[in-house]
Structure 1
Amino acid sequence: MTEVATSAMSDPLLVIIDPVARRTDGESVRIAKDVLSAGAATKVCLPDGPEEFARALRRRGSRRPVVIGDDRTLVRTVSQLHRQRELAGSVLSVVPVGPSLGLAAALGVPTSAVPAARAVLEGVERRLDLLVDDSDGVVLGALRIPAVPPGEGGAASARGPWLRTCQSLVRTLAAARPVRVASVSAPGPARLRIEVDGTTLVDLDQPVEAVSVAPDGSGAAEIEVRPLSVGAEATPLRAEGRTVTVSGADFRYRSDAGVSGPVRTRTWRVRQDAWGLMLPHP
């Protein structure tokens, strides 16, 4: 993480307020807007959907973008600026409002309206690393590959009817008498090949329970793999590198505020100091 001095108070702002934030916590939105308007020249935009949101970002001109919304809004903003190839030259600010604020908090953004708005006006720009995948997707925080439900990977299309049939049978039995039936979607191990900077860390013959990848702030990613444990808990495998490739059976992964996949292979690369975020002074 690199800290950059910024004369925030003099910057004109484009304040984009996500519709979910307006619906879920209008009072926090109003407070944040009042604080920002009192401290800088602001233009407020109220997009009704993703297309209007993207259009507002494209037409921001010299104004510094400030988004009021939750983690999904933050990820959408970074993704949009990345696709426009304008992320490196932008300094982004966020006032977290909405149902999901864990990512913003982990990045160091206050989750209350007043301190977050003050950080927009009086904070310091910090350059943060980013994970970019081979489909041009971005990860701001960490990504995790959970265990794969039984039957997934090669049998996904058949699994849906089979699961519905089992669920119907369970409901029928439950109506007849109380029974305890194990969930048919309980997670199981995954067989994945995980390569770090071209070197295989785990191959397909070693089932794994979970994988996590996160930027470490120094231009590399920290990778942790938890092998399937039989009896005593298995020791996690850890590595650092700039490129991580995961391949094997179809897998899904959770990153930031959403779930992606299934995919057969995906490569993530670390881009050091790829984006700037306004945060409070240390």
Structure 2
Amino acid sequence: MATFAMSDQLLVIIDPAARQTDGESVRIAKDVLSAGAAAKVCLPDGPAEFARALGRRGSRRPVVIGDDHALLRAVTLLHRERELAGCGLSVVPVGEAGETSLTQSLGVPGGAVAAARAVLDGTERRLDLLVDDSDGVVLTGLAIPPARRVPAPEPVASAAGRWYRTLLARTLPARPPRLPAVPAPGPTRLRVQLDGETLVDLDEPLESLTVTPGAPGTSGGGTAEVEFRPLSVGAEATPLRACGRTVTVTGPDFRYRADGAVSGPVRRRTWRLAEAAWGLVLPS
């Protein structure tokens, strides 16, 4: 773990979405950081300028002011440039409600003042992550949940008569086209392998699967936790658990949710645990 002096130079990258969402929190965070360290502030207009600013940080410590997407963008860029191991990140979470939950789950304070002070006085902690075979990264975990039924919109009641429907047509905006109900499919049939050993095969329907790269705020012991629930154990049973370093999922086209975003469909994906692969500055 590394601690930082108040005199450290900072590169403060303010994500454009944060400026639009909560300019006051951005201003407060910038003032706290500038008062406590030599800070160069960058205001990128989009992902390309965000990447250029991060790439030109030099010896400055990068501080991202933004939501979960901004943090994930920074980690992904550094990983793909193979510079993640040597660059400790700081983040001040600013965004829409629910858009900073991932960052806060890692231990970053939610308020602008507390988060900015953690940047100045905190400690870099090394965290595990998952790297997939398309060079994507997963910070907090992934899941392959069962699809849920999407109900069809309720039809307009006809008992009120033709005049009522005419009034609705004249006073309300055009209704979007009605979508048919999506039936809830049966359990997914996937082959799940952990370090080369098969946990679940295609002949065993799978209710759910999650993979977590260690525990937030620690190195996680160098293993990923796999939690899975075959149909045979029943919906009320405790999920089965195993730990390992490499998880491979194959089968018919499937989607998965990683760090809150849905990806796929794919027919095969492998995730490898990268132990203590990145550094995040957290309160001491």
TM class by smaller structure: 0.7 to 0.9
Residue 24 of structure 2 is matched in structure 1 by 27
Residue 211 of structure 2 is matched in structure 1 by 213
Which range moves more in the overlay, 255-264 or 87-96? Answer: 255-264
Q: Please list the CA deviations of residues 156-210 of structure 1 after superposition, one character each: whole Å capped at 9, or x if unmatched.
A: xxxxxxx9xxx9xx67x924759xx993243541111100000000111111121
Residue 112 of structure 1 is matched in structure 2 by 111
SS of structure 1 residue aligned to 2:116:
helix
Q: Please list the CA deviations of residues 83-132 of structure 1 after superposition, one character each: whole Å capped at 9, or x if unmatched.
A: 11100000100000002111111100001000100000000010000100
Q: Percent identity?
A: 70
Residue 126 of structure 1 is matched in structure 2 by 125
Residue 233 of structure 1 is matched in structure 2 by 236
- Establish whether residue 145 from structure 1 lines up as the match of residue 144 from structure 2: yes
TM-score (norm 1): 0.86
CA RMSD, Structure 1 to Structure 2 (Å)? 2.2
Q: Please list the CA deviations of residues 49-108 of structure 1 after superposition, one character each: whole Å capped at 9, or x if unmatched.
A: 110100111111111100000111100100000011100000100000002111111100
Letter of the structure 2 residue corresponding to residue 174 of structure 1: P
Which range moves more in the overlay, 231-240 or 8-17? Answer: 231-240
Alignment of 1:234-249 (within 5 A): 234-249=237-252
Contact 1:92 1:276 in 2 (8 A): yes
Which whole-Å CA distance do the structure 1 matches of 2:63 and 2:183 have between them? Answer: 41
The structure 2 residue matched to 1:73, chosen from 43, 58, 70, is 70
Which whole-Å CA distance do the structure 2 matches of 1:185 and 1:50 have between them? Answer: 38
Contact 1:8 1:123 in 2 (8 A): no
Which whole-Å CA distance do the structure 1 matches of 2:234 and 2:246 have between them? Answer: 33
Gaps of 5+ in 2: 160-178, 215-219
Larger radius of gyration: 2
- The structure-2 alpha-carbon separation of the partners of 1:188 and 1:30, relative to structure 1 and needing over 3 Å to count, comes to farther
The structure 2 residue matched to 1:14, chosen from 8, 11, 22, is 11
Alignment of 1:1-282 (within 5 A): 4-99=1-96, 100-148=99-147, 174-175=155-156, 183-186=181-184, 188-216=186-214, 217-228=220-231, 233-281=236-284
Contact 1:5 1:124 in 2 (8 A): yes
Residue 155 of structure 1 is matched in structure 2 by none
Letter of the structure 1 residue corresponding to residue 75 of structure 2: V
Contact 1:126 1:279 in 2 (8 A): yes
Which whole-Å CA distance do the structure 1 matches of 2:269 and 2:223 have between them? Answer: 17
- The structure-2 alpha-carbon separation of the partners of 1:277 and 1:50, relative to structure 1 and needing over 3 Å to count, comes to same
Which whole-Å CA distance do the structure 1 matches of 2:191 and 2:5 have between them? Answer: 46
Gaps of 5+ in 1: 151-162
- The structure-2 alpha-carbon separation of the partners of 1:184 and 1:59, relative to structure 1 and needing over 3 Å to count, comes to same
Instruction: Give the CA deviation at 1:257.
Output: 3.4
Aligned length: 258
Letter of the structure 1 residue corresponding to residue 126 of structure 2: R
Instruction: Give the CA deviation at 1:41.
Output: 0.4
TM-score (norm 2): 0.85
Which whole-Å CA distance do the structure 2 matches of 1:8 and 1:174 have between them? Answer: 63
Instruction: Give the CA deviation at 1:232.
Output: 6.3
Q: Please list the CA deviations of residues 18-72 of structure 1 after superposition, one character each: whole Å capped at 9, or x if unmatched.
A: 0111111110000000000000001100111110100111111111100000111
